[in-house]
Amino acid sequence: MATDVTMPQLGESVTEGTITRWLKKPGDRIAKYEPLCEVATDKVNAEVPATISGTLLEIVAEEGATVEVGQLICRIEEEGGTPSAKPADQGKDSAASSAASSGQEDQSMKRRYSPAVLRLAQEHGIDLEKIEGTGKGGRITRKDVLRYIEGGGKGVPSPSTPADRGEKQPAAPAKKPSAPEVRIPVAETPAKEGVPVPLEEGDQEIPVSSVRRTIAQRMVTSKHEAPHAWTMVEADVTGLVQLRERLKKEFKEREGISLTYLPFFIKAVVDSLKEFPYLNSVWAGDRIILKKRINISIAVATDDALYVPVIHDADEKSIAGLAKAVHRLAEKTRAGKLSLEDMQGGTFTVNNTGSFGSIMSQPIINYPQAAILSVESIVKRPVIKDSMIAIRDMVNLCLSLDHRILDGLMAGRFLQRVKERVESYGPDTQI
């Protein structure tokens, strides 16, 4: 008896993975939990283990294929079970079955919609009857809806769909599909992917990696679904600079790692999140979930991608503890050794764009979190202090927020408390 092996859930919010290498071939004997193949996602590289012991009967998803979570990737002949048809025969059977059913596609799942699909359809005023589902049994996936939106409502329409929405349609013979109606302002329609671009001499074409493609999809999703608002405050961190200057040599000698500014800002954010729990929440369609744990996502860039590992229970750590956690995650990211646990459970993101010399940015929310804060570069500037001109160390703190969850009042108060906290650090502060 053959058992189907599907693409597992390889992380929170991971929807697909790309099979980079098969470690087994048809006919190989496999022990339970033995790795079958290697899979790359936007977050981690992982191995897919065998769910049973037996013999690899058939590989369905070849190397390089990107497969959605839950879709079939291979079949295993269970150990001691009744022999199934050989892969070659099975392929013939499948082909025959496919041929037989080519004129009668399975549409049994056509009208079973996930909450994400329904939410997208509601937000964009889309009639789902006009979308052709690519999922199992004709089910409409979230990707189908996004593709339909990105195409300006010119996705593959159902052959039986009328042009006018809401009108009862008589049973009519198949006809040429009409252009579907979509209630999306043209200005909000994102640029199509794959638009032909003329190449000139010397141009280089770089294939989009699965990681880059997934990052792009996430960014588009966040901008599509979360109405971003943005605000910024300026903070005087002269005391923090003096504190770090006093501690950094001793810290390096004692802990073996450098003491950066980021842990101080994370600590200020974490303490402020306790006062404003709505900033530590996620959007869940018909409700807002205030997260009990405070898990801080931090953005770590590599040469070719951006990863967002998580400091779990950041509110339980001191500044020194946060410094160690930041160092550990950064090292694991650059070494390509992040685990699934390292990537899961983030409730708020702190982005350190200041490390690149940036003084102002508008970060995209790490969806479905409620907000993201960017710490910009600390620069010396002349400012008015006590009615006199003084040279101070100044930093901009930039906050992007999901306007469905947060309004400017709460976001502003939160940012004000973060500012007060980072300005309260002084040369004698204990970490």
Return the number of other C-beta atoms located less than 10 Å from residue 330's C-beta. Answer: 18
Instruction: Residue 220: name the closest of 246, 190, 247 by CA.
Output: 190
* Of 124, 224, 228, 403, catalytic: 403
| Encoded amino acid at 381, one letter | R
Question: CA 197, CA 90: separation in Å to the nearest integer?
Answer: 43
DSSP 202-227: T----PPPHHHHHHHHHHHHHHHHS-
Burial (CB count <10 Å: 0-12, 13-18, 19+), residue 14: buried
Question: CA 85, CA 118: separation in Å to the nearest integer?
Answer: 40
List C-alpha distances in Å: 232 to 272, 279, 395, 400, 408: 16, 15, 10, 9, 11
SS3 label, residue 91? helix
List C-alpha distances in Å: 133 to 38, 104, 392: 28, 15, 59
Share in percent of the chain as helix, strand, coil (round to 5): 30, 25, 45
Q: Are 295 and 310 in contact (CB under 8 A)?
A: yes
Is 124 known to be catalytic?
no
* Of 164, 313, 407, 428, catalytic: 407
Return the number of other C-beta atoms located less than 10 Å from residue 130's C-beta. Answer: 22
Residue written as token pair 């770090």: 244
Question: CA 135, CA 71: separation in Å to the nearest integer?
Answer: 9
Q: Are 240 and 261 in contact (CB under 8 A)?
A: yes
SS3 label, residue 107? coil
| Encoded amino acid at 271, one letter | D
| DSSP-derived pairing of the beta strands 388-402 and 371-375 | antiparallel
| Encoded amino acid at 339, one letter | S
Instruction: Residue 68: name the closest of 3, 150, 141, 145 by CA.
Output: 141
Which secondary structure element, helix H or strand E, spans residue 290, and what is its range?
strand 288-290
Is 407 known to be catalytic?
yes
Instruction: Residue 281: name the closest of 364, 419, 398, 401 by CA.
Output: 401
DSSP code for 351 = E
> Which amino acids are annotated catalytic?
403, 407
